[in-house]
Amino acid sequence: MIIIVMGVAGSGKTTVARLLAKQLSWTFRDSDEFHPPANIEKMSRGIPLDDADRAPWLTAMCAVIEAWMRDNTNAVLTCSCLKADYRKTLLVDPTRMRLVYLKGSFELIEARLVQRTNHFMKVNLLKSQFEIIEEPQDDIVVDVSHQPEVIVQKIRTKLRM
């Protein structure tokens, strides 16, 4: 099984997904690893990415997902997955994949981003993410106001793991 943990920047994707993968003894990858240098540079300057910018990023993640599928590797991947089309691209086999949406208020997540250091994603880009996010309707949704351990337990309960 592959679990994609999605949400806007600062929602806790990396923290939660890493902890979930550790508890399950599964492979973990962060979607930030797949951004081409031009995307990181753009976000570092506070410029939002567009669909063209995200295309090579999604393609790189798809290649890893397909390899995991071939090898029957259980994995947890983070990805903002802001649009339904992005999720459709990544969910190559819905029978073997689950999507977990980490949802929180703009104010809570903005406060987290303000405290975060040494990350290319700038706090001023959060507004653009909230403006374009197409929230998933039929997936697991978890409130991010809880501690990471509680969030992971809620995910595991909903996945019956």
Profile the chain (161 residues) by mean pLDDT over runs of 10 residues: 94 95 97 90 83 93 97 96 93 94 93 71 75 89 95 95 84
- Amino acid 116: pLDDT: 65
Q: Which residue has the tokens 């090898």?
A: 71
* Predicted pLDDT at 139: 86
According to DSSP H, which parts of the chain are helical? 13-24, 37-44, 51-71, 84-90, 106-115, 126-132, 148-159
Distance between CA atoms of residues 114 and 136, nearest Å: 26
Q: What confidence score (pLDDT) does residue 95 get? A: 93
Q: What is the pLDDT of residue 42?
A: 87
Render the burial of 54-84: b for 16+ CB within 10 Å, e for the rest. beebbeebeebbeebeeeeeebbbbbbbbee
pTM of the model: 0.89
Within 10 angstroms of residue 160's Cβ, the number of other Cβ atoms is: 5
